[in-house]
Chains A and B, each alone.
Chain A
């Protein structure tokens, strides 16, 4: 999503392999959506990620959406164990991983069954023929072999002997059957790479890194990859290969990045730029753990990662680190947010800088841990005891997680407050090309510890930001005590004065509300002076909403899009912007949480567009809803 504005003209046209038998060599396609699906042990995520990397290197714009099962290894061959990875690559700007795959790679009957509903008529299905054994067919819940019973007649089905071809290619490697079987994903990757003219050298390099210590496995994987590629070239199975030319992307140097990695890097960048060590206190939880993993390997950046005994200790240790002067963060998902709430209240009261990252997943309770949702917004806003306002920032794309993580740290320090950073499972594991920022041009993050004992009190405030001084242990003459008990203005001494309590509560609220001063003006995609409808969104719905609004606008309709990064405080011009439109629709993956805030804060009679399925909005779902709203 990094095209120059003039290139962002028309919607990506899904075409892929469609066109039946009239294939010629190197046919051109604007945009293709491939979904790799197989057993969770089949390595489909790896194949998908590597294909994405190849496509990014080929200059396409891309967006990805992994779809993991909640079970690590559900029984092989069952629907519960199907793992999927969808990538949309295009010569145009892409906003989503695509509503439906133009190509489905299904490694077994369960993968076929679990994904078939999403494949459009005449879509391409590539299957590992040998995986359609009687047992596997039964395990997937089929009563007859779908490859023979004409149930797939409306699709273009390619049956490839993936297992046999991989085994043959690796017959002289000396690996056992199990190890050979595990190279099937590389064979498929090679085949699909040929089909879409992706060079495989970057994958070979990647394999060399991964199997540095096991040369026999490296050899086998590279062999399988090349075998798949050569199979595509020599066989007549596929009538032609396809070219998806590079997109017109803003000049610069790019890398492919997932939301979780971008989040981790954003924190490290903030730490380096502020000159303070980074401390992450965290308890493993899906889909947040990768931030912990990423940061754990960056110790030479002065990054401390503490895998705590529980969620509470995760945030509590971060509060301790913040008290000591570190850039302190904790990462979690919804259930962990619940557990951290009391400690976050302590950080609000003691006014310590801290970033709490909520990588949302579908709830309630354990819910669907690997699926995205946006139902923690009101928890972030209000999910604490007492009056405890907290700034909230939400990332809208995987790469945007970098900027938002960085911004969250900046605000936390400037205003001496905990900040909640919200992403979700879709952003966390989804990927897109990221124009590499110049580290020296990142916004300044100024850390000024109080050192002067003269006139020092823990709760005297900066007149502009209302933040209190960051006075860290080790500073002579500033010895002081802070705590959760209500405390007196300025001195911070324990106080039960009713008037003082109200003063402190209101002052903290004013401090947070004041952050709105530096929130940039709201940008409207579409009708700058108002129109029939504006779709308001936040977080990972960005791509789907933008694409849907674009498509409807191309039909000449008046629909616009506003997407929020700052959810608390809301931008001060948001109300006036929304009022320019006849109708306001809030699209979000919950039952209407931002909708409630908008209605309550502005008394605007906004309507909701909601989905709670653990799946992102399809563009088609939004376009049909928008059309209906426009019609009346």
Chain B
């Protein structure tokens, strides 16, 4: 490979046009920063997106990019990845694009385990269409389209991904640059569909939706950072933990006889644990990190293997022989 790339090699010549203060800037910066670490030449990288604020992302990456139509990015990326397994494919989507109009494509891409990264920017609102509630907005949300409050029960992106048999599921926060970088790295390492929920602040239509997780004063008491093999501990003073009480998780204060040994140890390979963590609600903290990671053959890999096996078995197809197949007869 040629000389190592730097962050600015991944910055395109296009002016970034998100609203000032949008969480998308932080995500873009971190993605551009992390890309050189992967050591993949720019021409081998493709960003595919749908429609929405997040989906402008490819224009700002100096790689190959395809800004497609609403919700369809996972399907378009599937066709690309299957026929071009040599490419490093990233799907960028949002809570509306990925979970509403494109929900069907998202769940099928995850269950098939197509080898690409899906970055879902979740701001719990429709930004580009100016402020309607989204499939991740909470019940009671007052927006332009729900003046009396939303009566729509929201999706939890993590449980949707787990329920779709995704092989890699994680969550991070736009402003948590270090954690975001780690999650992107883990997602990139994974073979198969990697699902990364990025909690992202829309400062225009849903400002502060994730304050508990991004406000430095309070976040430590609300955020549970998942680390494989480590006990579930959180809190400003690292003095709170998660313990099982019969079959339910509860928050316990460490000390007074409660030690780390009493706490749940995170295991990324435990699907039941992943589901339990994904469903944490206050007073339980909000987990971030890798919920679940497992290994399963990829769709694109399996399909290309079928093609290779067919060629190994029958030889590369001969067109004339194919045309002449079946019962033929000669007319003189």
Contacts and interface: CB of A to CB of B under 8 A. Distances in A.
Contacts of B80: 320-321, 323-324, 473
Nearest to A312: B72
Chain A interface residue number, banded: 35 or more
A311 to B, nearest CB: 10
A318 interface: yes
B90 to A, nearest CB: 12
B319 A299 contact: no
Interface stretch (A106-114, A247-255, A422-430, A604-612): A247-255
A285 interface: no
Given A57-B327, A251-B331, A306-B82, A313 B314 contact: no
A299 B307 contact: yes
Contact of B68 (A251, A438, A484): A484
Given A249-B331, A324-B83, A313 B75 contact: yes
A147 B76 CA distance: 60
A300 B305 CA distance: 11
B67 A279 contact: no
A256 B53 CA distance: 54
Nearest to A300: B310
A572 interface: no
Given A304-B82, A483-B58, A316 B65 contact: no
Residue in A273, A306, A310 whose Cβ sees the most chain B Cβ within 10 Å? A306
A127 interface: no
Given A313-B104, A483-B67, A476 B41 contact: yes
Interface in A196-228: 202, 205-206
A20 interface: no
B78 A306 contact: yes
A321 B83 contact: yes
A494 B65 CA distance: 13
Interface stretch (A80-88, A171-179, A264-272, A525-533): A264-272
Nearest to B306: A299
Given A251-B331, A310-B104, A302 B317 contact: yes
Most buried by A among B12, B66, B317: B66
B276 to A, nearest CB: 29
Given A302-B307, A324-B83, A326-B83, A439 B323 contact: yes
Given A302-B307, A343-B72, A436 B82 contact: no
Nearest to A203: B327
Interface string B41-83: 1111110100100000011011111111100100111111111
Contacts of A436: 323-324, 328
B330 interface: yes
Contacts of B320: 438-440
Given A309-B108, A313-B108, A439-B319, A53 B307 contact: no
A339 B55 CA distance: 22
A269 B66 CA distance: 29
B103 to A, nearest CB: 11
B84 interface: yes
A186 interface: no
B326 interface: yes
B113 to A, nearest CB: 14
Interface string A253-286: 1111000000001001100110001010100000
A589 to B, nearest CB: 30
B129 interface: no
A440 B318 CA distance: 11
A540 B321 CA distance: 28
A59 interface: yes
Contact of B79 (A324, A350, A439): A324
Contacts of B79: 279, 281, 306, 316-324, 326, 328
Interface in A467-513: 472-485, 493-494
Interface in B273-332: 303, 306-307, 309-311, 313-317, 319-320, 322-332
A317 B307 contact: no
Contact of A481 (B65, B86, B325): B65
A301 interface: yes
A437 interface: yes
A298 B320 CA distance: 14
Interface string A508-526: 0000000000000000000
Interface in A1-57: 53, 56-57
Interface string A425-453: 00000000000111110000000000000
Contacts of B61: 481
B247 interface: no
B76 A277 contact: no
A481 B84 contact: no
Contact of A325 (B45, B84, B303, B309): B84
B105 interface: yes
Contacts of B76: 316-317, 319-320, 323
Contacts of A246: 331
Nearest to B76: A320
Across the A-B interface, the 3 shortest Cβ-Cβ residue pairs: A483-B67, A320-B79, A317-B79
Given A299-B306, A313-B108, A321-B80, 10 more contacts: A57-B327, A253-B331, A298-B322, A308-B75, A313-B104, A320-B80, A321-B83, A473-B84, A474-B84, A474-B87
9 contacts: A246-B331, A250-B331, A255-B327, A300-B314, A304-B82, A316-B75, A322-B79, A474-B44, A481-B66
